[in-house]
A and B are shown apart, each in its own frame.
Chain A
């Protein structure tokens, strides 16, 4: 057997490629030029406002930022820790809630009702109110001798609220798996629970991963709200530094750090979504 000759692009194709390269180069130049012009206009408008000097001093003071850095950074580490634990908690609780909501049969009515009630209540209630209720209500019950750390209570509140949202995402994913898959699983003799665990959930999770990542990004910034319970996270640290320096720069610093924390997650979400699309849509991209 002789190997087929390697494809040599024809003169016609080479011409097309040259044309496309020229077009790409032109587009990049136009984009770069317009970006520079736009940035310049915004910058000049900003620095020529009458109050710019005062705002710059109050919000963008490098020396204040440098002094606030250690404390704010320490706070951010706490945010990160809370985020990791909350994300793990949300994953477990939301899958349980979503599974309960898909149970059929009259026997399971109480479980279904509890799950539905839970998602209704916690999707409706503002996070900050849940934080207050959990943060000051649970210690009031006196389960423990000492008040649990604010960060722990904050994590519980975040898990309660976000599980309600994420369980609905999972439920949508479970219902998006074609019924014929359940039929095939049950026809093999798998029980309802086994079909769920081995066949339905793995497919559901794949379908909703981009949406889940989006909720994770939303949660990572809401983690900053645990400061209302007194946990010294990045926001609370910035507040303390702001009060000490009579300058708002620490808030800006904390805000920027949150954005930096979110960026990898956002990029990861974009990458994953694009990969899914590529895999499922081989061929024409319109």
Chain B
């Protein structure tokens, strides 16, 4: 499988605080990569770096072989190739669900309103929210809003989907429906890079797990390697702290 995203030597500081201290990471096409790590370990910053929402101090971001961290590259077309879902949904409150989903298709990809809406309604149908197409986001539950946000991110058929702790702001009973949608996308072959606190989900869905600590990749491997037999003491410590047991597959828990 060909490589879609490669990060090499990414460095980023906020003032004196060095958040990323030379990150190397590769994501193959169709892969699901989970970023885990304590709060403040740089997971969200890294995702923003990939989407060029955060200028980097050093290093390179290659998307499909192209150096998108080059200042001569126009960021808007690059961002259009990458879908992002945020922790707090960030739906546009003044637009209906349908307009939220079609905004980028119509104004960035310049698809006609008819085409964009047909595609959006099809996607909303698939997640069971077609009847809410004309509603405004504040009429939906958190789980529904986040699913709309995911659909908004994939409506432009991006090459890569970035998920930034998409369930962290949700009530526990709403987490399931969002994870189920992510699972479906993963099964359908979407390339996903996600920061997550859901260890069980990461173990279940991810092809590879990357543990960030102190601005560096402390350990990476298959879920079984990282969750089952972590090499690094700090990985073991982190997993124990966040409830490493939840890292076991659901079958093993019962």
Q: Does A273 contact B (CB under 8 A)?
A: no
Is the CB–CB distance between B80 and A183 below 8 Å? no
Q: Does A17 contact B (CB under 8 A)?
A: no
Is the CB–CB distance between B77 and A189 below 8 Å? yes
Q: How far is the CA of A180 from the CA of B44 in the complex (A)?
A: 13
Hey, which chain B residues are within 8 Å of A218, CB to CB? none
A188 to chain B, nearest CB (A): 4
Is the CB–CB distance between B76 and A199 below 8 Å? no
Q: Which residue, B82, B104, B152, has most C-beta atoms of chain A within 10 A?
A: B104
Is the CB–CB distance between B156 and A189 below 8 Å? yes
Hey, which chain A residues are within 8 Å of B156, CB to CB? 188-189
Q: Does A194 contact B (CB under 8 A)?
A: yes
Q: How far is the CA of A191 from the CA of B156 in the complex (A)?
A: 16
Contact of A188 among B88, B93, B94, B152 (CB under 8 A): B152
Q: Does A66 contact B (CB under 8 A)?
A: no
Is the CB–CB distance between B76 and A189 below 8 Å? yes
Contact of B80 among A181, A188, A202, A206 (CB under 8 A): A188
Q: Does A203 contact B (CB under 8 A)?
A: yes
Is the CB–CB distance between B79 and A180 below 8 Å? no
Q: Does B92 contact A (CB under 8 A)?
A: yes
Hey, which chain A residues are within 8 Å of B153, CB to CB? 188
Q: Does A49 contact B (CB under 8 A)?
A: no
Is the CB–CB distance between B103 and A198 below 8 Å? yes
Is the CB–CB distance between B76 and A191 below 8 Å? yes
Hey, which chain A residues are within 8 Å of B94, CB to CB? 202-203, 206
A286 to chain B, nearest CB (A): 22
Is the CB–CB distance between B107 and A187 below 8 Å? no
Hey, which chain A residues are within 8 Å of B152, CB to CB? 188
Residue-wise, chain A 180-208 has the 8 Å CB interface mask toward B (1 for contact) of 11011111111100100011001100100
Hey, which chain A residues are within 8 Å of B88, CB to CB? 180
Q: Does B86 contact A (CB under 8 A)?
A: yes
A87 to chain B, nearest CB (A): 23
Hey, which chain A residues are within 8 Å of B78, CB to CB? 189
A53 to chain B, nearest CB (A): 60
B155 to chain A, nearest CB (A): 9
Q: Does B73 contact A (CB under 8 A)?
A: no
Is the CB–CB distance between B90 and A181 below 8 Å? yes
Is the CB–CB distance between B107 and A183 below 8 Å? no
Interface residues of B in 73-103 (CB under 8 A from A): 76-82, 84, 86, 88, 90-94, 103
Q: How far is the CA of A180 from the CA of B90 in the complex (A)?
A: 6
Q: Does B53 contact A (CB under 8 A)?
A: yes
Hey, which chain B residues are within 8 Å of A189, CB to CB? 76-81, 104, 108, 156
Interface residues of B in 105-121 (CB under 8 A from A): 107-108
B154 to chain A, nearest CB (A): 11
Q: How far is the CA of A202 from the CA of B99 in the complex (A)?
A: 13
Q: Does B60 contact A (CB under 8 A)?
A: no
Contact of B76 among A180, A181, A184, A190 (CB under 8 A): A190
Hey, which chain A residues are within 8 Å of B91, CB to CB? 184
Q: Does B191 contact A (CB under 8 A)?
A: no
Is the CB–CB distance between A188 and B86 below 8 Å? no
Is the CB–CB distance between B92 and A199 below 8 Å? yes
Q: Does B51 contact A (CB under 8 A)?
A: yes
Hey, which chain B residues are within 8 Å of A190, CB to CB? 76, 103-104, 107-108
Hey, which chain A residues are within 8 Å of B103, CB to CB? 188, 190, 198-199
Hey, which chain A residues are within 8 Å of B93, CB to CB? 203
Hey, which chain B residues are within 8 Å of A181, CB to CB? 90, 92
11 residue pairs A–B, Cβ–Cβ below 8 Å? A186-B79, A187-B51, A187-B84, A187-B86, A188-B103, A188-B156, A189-B108, A190-B76, A190-B107, A198-B107, A199-B92
Q: Which residues of A contact B (CB under 8 A)?
A: 180-181, 183-191, 194, 198-199, 202-203, 206
The 6 A-B pairs of least Cβ separation, nearest first, read A189-B80, A184-B90, A188-B104, A187-B84, A189-B108, A189-B79
